Each structure stands twice: as structure tokens, then as C-alpha cells.
């Protein structure tokens, strides 16, 4: 159990550091790469939770498709890639205060809901059960997300071809 805890904390620290850099960087391409690090960390946590299928779906769909789609959108729209000084906002204390408040509310809610209960992995699902769940009850949101990604790609191409 100690190795899993150490792995989780290492992944969590890497994800938090990449997430902070994701929202503070002024370079769009680097932001996409930091997003890939955060999503890879989420896949690593799924592996720690013994959900290998979900981890590989995370890698294929999110890292492979969403980040590539974001990079294609940036490259096709000819968005400024370098640093943009006029995009900075000086009021950072209010969002930081809201983030700390939301973190406190989340911790309070989770500790109230679960308290000192142990989490057991006794009911590990098979890949077939996971796929039946995704493509059974959640097939409509899955297809809506794929149409949304396709619309974003078509929109990026349309904006790039507008000249």
C-alpha cells in the first residue's frame, strides 16, 4: 500500500504543478503540452485504481485526440504563439480566494460524506462491464462530445480559410 501512496502523491504533485503552469503560461503551445501532462497524470491515477481500460481510453482520446485537436486549431487559425502581454489580468486575488474557498468546500463535503470510511476495490469491473456502461446508458453524451470535437475542428479550418 505504501508504493501506491507514493505513486499517487508523485502523480498528484506533477499534475498540480502542470495545471498551475497550464493556467499561468502565456504560450498557447506550451499550455497544450502542460494539458497533456495533466491528462497523462489522470491516466496514471486510473492505473493506480486498477482501471486500465479507462486509463488507455484517457491516453488515446484525451491526450491523443484533444491535445492534437487543440494544436491543429492553434496552428490553423494562425493564433499568436508567442507571449502576449495584453492578455494578462492584474486582479489575481479574487480568483485565488474563490479557488481556496472551493477547495475548502470540496474538502468539507468529501470529509462529511465519507468521513473515515476505507475505500475497497473488491468489486473490480471487467472491461466489458465498463464498455457496456459507457456505450449503454452514456452513449448520447459520448456522441455529443465527439460531434463537439468535430465541430471545433471544422470551425478551426473555416477560420483558417477565411482569408
Grid coordinates representing 15 are 499534475
| Backbone torsion region of residue 82, taken as left when φ is above 0, otherwise alpha when ψ lies between -120 and 50, otherwise beta | beta
Please provide the size of the chain in residues. 163
Domains and CATH numbers, the chain: 2-82+125-160 (1.20.120.1200)
Whether the predicted pLDDT of 140 surpasses 60 = yes
Arithmetic mean of pLDDT over the chain:
81
Whether the predicted pLDDT of 10 surpasses 80 = yes
Cα–Cα distance, 142 to 130 (Å, whole number) = 13
Name, of 69-73, 79-83, 101-105, the range with top average pLDDT.
Answer: 101-105
Cα–Cα distance, 57 to 28 (Å, whole number) = 25
In 22-141, where do the E strands start and end? none
Cα–Cα distance, 135 to 57 (Å, whole number) = 13
pTM exceeding 0.75:
no
Q: How confident is the model at residue 147 (pLDDT cuts 50, 70, 90)?
A: confident
Q: How confident is the model at residue 97 (pLDDT cuts 50, 70, 90)?
A: very high
The contacts of residue 56 (CB under 8 Å, 6+ apart) are 43
What pLDDT, on a 0 to 100 scale, did the predictor assign at position 83?
58
Whether the predicted pLDDT of 38 surpasses 90 = yes
Amino acid at each position: 500500500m505504501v508504493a501506491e501512496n507514493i505513486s499517487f502523491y508523485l502523480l498528484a504533485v506533477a499534475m498540480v504543478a502542470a495545471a498551475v503552469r497550464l493556467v499561468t503560461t502565456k504560450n498557447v503551445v506550451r499550455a497544450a503540452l502542460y494539458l497533456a501532462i495533466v491528462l497523462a497524470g489522470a491516466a496514471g491515477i486510473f492505473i493506480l485504481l486498477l482501471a486500465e481500460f479507462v486509463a488507455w481510453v484517457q491516453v488515446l482520446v484525451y491526450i491523443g485526440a484533444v491535445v492534437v485537436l487543440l494544436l491543429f486549431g492553434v496552428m490553423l487559425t494562425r493564433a499568436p504563439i508567442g507571449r502576449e502581454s495584453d492578455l494578462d489580468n492584474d486582479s489575481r486575488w479574487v480568483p485565488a480566494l474563490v479557488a481556496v474557498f472551493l477547495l475548502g468546500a470540496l474538502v468539507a463535503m468529501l470529509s462529511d460524506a465519507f468521513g473515515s470510511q476505507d475505500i475497497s476495490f473488491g468489486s473490480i469491473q471487467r472491461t466489458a462491464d465498463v464498455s457496456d456502461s459507457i456505450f449503454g446508458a452514456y452513449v448520447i453524451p459520448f456522441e455529443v462530445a465527439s460531434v463537439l470535437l468535430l465541430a471545433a475542428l471544422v470551425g478551426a479550418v473555416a477560420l483558417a480559410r477565411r482569408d
